[in-house]
Amino acid sequence: MWAPLEREIVVSNVLALSEKHALSVERLSVAFPHGDQVLLALDGTTLEVKRGEFVCVVGASGSGKSTLLNVLAGLDRPSAGRAHVHGRVALIFQESALLPWLTAAGNVELALELRGVPASARRQLAYELLGRVHMTGFEKRRPHELSGGMKQRVALARALAQDADVLLMDEPFGALDAISRDLLHEELLRIWRESRLTILFVTHNAREAVRLGDRVMVFTSRPGRVAHEVRVDLPRPRSLDSPELAVIAGRITDRLKHEVTNGG
Amino acid sequence: MAAELASQLDLHAVAPPTPHPVRKSIARTWSGLWPKLGAILLTLIFWQLVVWSGWRPQSALPGPWPVAHRLATDLSHFDFYAGMGVTLRRAALGYVIAAGVAVGVAILIGRIELARRSVGSLLVGLQSMPSIAWLPFAILLLQRSESAITFVVVMGAAPAIAAGLLSGIDHVHPLLIRVGRAMGADGLRLYRHVIIPAALPAFVGGLKQGWAFAWRSLMSAELLLVAANQTSIGQLLQSAGKLLDMQQLLAIMIVIFVFGILVDSLFGTLDTAIRRRWGLLGSEA
């Protein structure tokens, strides 16, 4: 049931070769009909992410970053090339994408149900997962009773409930205030360390990318392609305010500006 | 961490003192009730004034008191309840069938593009068609039977219910559908866990409107068609008219009116509960 992606591509030598890769994207192009024309969102993107790696994708808006995640999550179809995820994926959206008629625990339980967890075990497991994102005491709240940061915590718990190997995050903290975002960065990094998830994190914020990622991929604007790769060797935990981080983020921002002025 | 924050803030200390829950609920009921009682009282006064003015003779327009008296007499007779029972049974049967048909049709239209273009356009026409226009057709098709009445009720209610559900399905936020699919829900499971619950507020709106149509259709059909010699509310109304018994007529009209209000407030409560749960109302606290 997980496998819209795995069903598509079963090439044994690729599997063997990329044993240590959690996801691989090869010359991926995605086009959408847009009025009379065809809009090319991604054009020959190639990307590989190792198991347990935290990779950030930075690009201006409209650079096809979200499209990349949607293809990896099986929500959009590639026009050419291929995208492969080894194992289960979970997707976290920018807006709070909780189902408004379910409580925080209900949202997590639904993910468990769709994964096939028996009914008797769901409640307790959901409470445990909400505890892991520090939402104990808020299990019975509905999304409209929660703040933006809390909603994203629940979304994180729900993604964990999917027992995914790869977590795809589409500007998840973009709408949050600076303090909530900082706290959620710490939370996410802690969960990543504990669970050895592979994370592909899309953002337009270079500082956020440098704070979180092992590597940062800079995308070209429309159509999207990896223009540049930055390996972040700063020791963790990293502070958003550290000068070293600012230097790297500044370089990435320059690069982004360059892409926008040249490509757009 | 958020829990920590809440406990540090000590929300109870900040909250204003709350009145006793029972007294609070009485106050709330009263504040909802008095405008209605006032409106009823004003209507009764107006009615009595018109009667006292001598505009029409007492036999043509009896005052509230004789009508209330007659209503009390009716309510103590078995015949009346039998009629009420027949009418309610027909309403319930027709309404349930209508809801079932409507859900099936709406999901079909929602899922299949061809069905939308074919049946979907007919639905609009059906909705604007007075259901009583189906009665002669129903009588020729099914004779003067219970089924003919049920048929008219279904034709009255089903289009409204289907339209409500369909608009709910069409307006499900695309993000929620993506969420559902990203969690691995597809086909029927997507409907069950995401689309139907998301469409529920609009569906309840459609159910409410469908009920109004069903009730009107039923009254019209009962007035025009006496099936299987069954005493029904519509038929009691009809015979009161034939016997020039205005007291009886008004008493039954009051029953119909009150019943309509009761069912409507039931739907209103359901609607509010769902909208609150879905976060579509501003929170009260």
Amino acid identity for residue B120 in this structure: G
Roughly what angle, to the nearest 10 degrees, separates helices B146-170 and B135-142?
A: 130
Q: Can you tell me the mean pLDDT for A239-243?
A: 90
pLDDT at A17: 45
Does residue A6 register a pLDDT over 60? no
pLDDT at B90: 94
* Tokens encoding A207: 């500082």
Residue by residue, pLDDT tens for chain B (285 residues) are 555 554 454 444 455 556 677 888 888 888 878 888 899 999 999 999 999 998 988 888 999 999 999 999 989 988 889 999 999 999 999 999 999 999 989 888 888 888 888 887 888 888 888 888 999 999 999 988 889 999 999 999 999 999 999 989 889 998 999 999 988 888 889 989 999 899 999 999 999 999 999 999 999 999 888 765 678 888 888 888 888 899 999 999 999 999 988 998 899 899 999 988 888 876 443
Q: Do B183 and A136 touch (CB under 8 A)?
A: no
Are A172 and A148 a contacting pair, CB within 8 Å? no
Q: Which residue of B has its CA nearest to A2?
A: B184
pLDDT band (50, 70, 90) for residue A10: very low
Q: For residue A12, is pLDDT > 50? A: no
**Domain termination site, one of A120, A148, A163:** A163
User: What are the helix (H) ranges across A77-139?
Assistant: 104-115, 119-132
Give the range of the structural domain holding residue A110, as residue numbers without chain letter.
98-163
In the block, which residue shows the tokens 């879905």?
B278
Do A228 and A123 lie in one domain? The reply is no
Q: Rounded mean pLDDT of chain A?
A: 87
Mean pLDDT score, A37-43: 86
Q: In this structure, are A79 and A8 located in the same domain?
A: yes
Question: Do A84 and A157 share a structural domain?
Answer: no
Tell me the domains of chain B and their CATH numbers: 64-277 (1.10.3720.10)
pLDDT at B145: 86
A93 domain residue, yes or no:
no
Strand partners, B15: none
Indicate whether A125 and A64 sit together in one domain. Answer: no
Q: Which residue shows structure tokens 């689309």?
A: B195
Q: How far is CA B243 from the centre of its chain?
A: 31
Taking the C-alpha atoms of residue A2 and residue A126, their distance in angstroms, rounded to an integer, is: 20
Poorest-confidence range of A93-102, A105-114, B118-127?
Answer: B118-127
Shortest Cα distance from A200 to chain B (angstroms)?
15
The letter for the amino acid at B117 is: R
Number of domains in chain A: 2
Render B158-174 in DSSP notation, one character per residue: HHHHHHHHHHHHHTS-H
| Nearest beta carbon to residue A143 from set B189, B194, B279 | B279
Q: At CA B249, angle to CA B248 and CA B251, rounded to 5?
A: 65
At residue A46, φ and ψ (nearest 5 deg) are: -125, 135
Q: Letter for the amino acid at B11? A: L
Task: Assess if residue A136 is contained within a domain.
Answer: yes
Q: Do A135 and B3 touch (CB under 8 A)?
A: yes
**For residue B186, what pLDDT is reported?**
84
Closest Cα in chain B, distance from residue A251 (Å): 34
- Give the Cβ contact number of residue A38 at 10 Å: 11
Residue in B8, B179, B196 to test binding to A, most A beta-carbons within 10 Å? B179
**Both A193 and A249 in a single domain?**
yes
* Burial status of residue A251 (CB atoms within 10 A of its CB: 0-12, 13-18, 19 or more): middle
Is there a contact between B183 and A144 if contact means CB atoms under 8 Å apart?
no
* Residue A127, domain member (yes or no): yes
Q: For residues A86 and A3, what is the distance between their CA atoms, to the nearest angstrom?
A: 10
Statement to judge: residues A83 and A199 lie in one domain? yes
| Residue whose C-alpha is closest to residue B174's, from A177, A75, A118 | A75
Lowest-pLDDT range, A44-48, A100-104, A200-204? A44-48
Residue B18 main-chain phi, psi, to 5 deg: -100, 140
Contact criterion met (CB < 8 Å) for B3 and A138: yes
Q: How far is CA B68 from CA A116, B38, B65, B227, B254, in A?
A: 61, 18, 5, 29, 9
Question: Domain check: are A229 and A114 in the same one?
Answer: no
pLDDT (mean) for A29-47: 86
A84 domain-assigned: yes
Facing residues of A229 across strands? A217
pLDDT at residue number B25:
84
- Closest by CA position to A75, among listed A41, A34, A102, A106: A41
Clarify whether residues A76 and A111 are in a common domain.
Answer: no
Question: Which residues does A167 contact at the CB level (< 8 Å), separation at least 6?
Answer: A89, A90, A92, A159, A197, A198, A199, A200
Residue B280's closest chain A neighbor by CA?
Answer: A144
Q: Look at residue A264 and tell me whether its pLDDT is greater than 80.
A: no
pLDDT grade, residue A263 (50/70/90)?
Answer: low
Residues from B contacting A (CB-CB < 8 Å) are: 1-3, 6, 175-176, 178-179, 181-185, 189, 193-194, 197-198, 200, 277-279, 283
pLDDT of residue A2: 40
pLDDT class for A243, splitting at 50, 70, 90?
very high
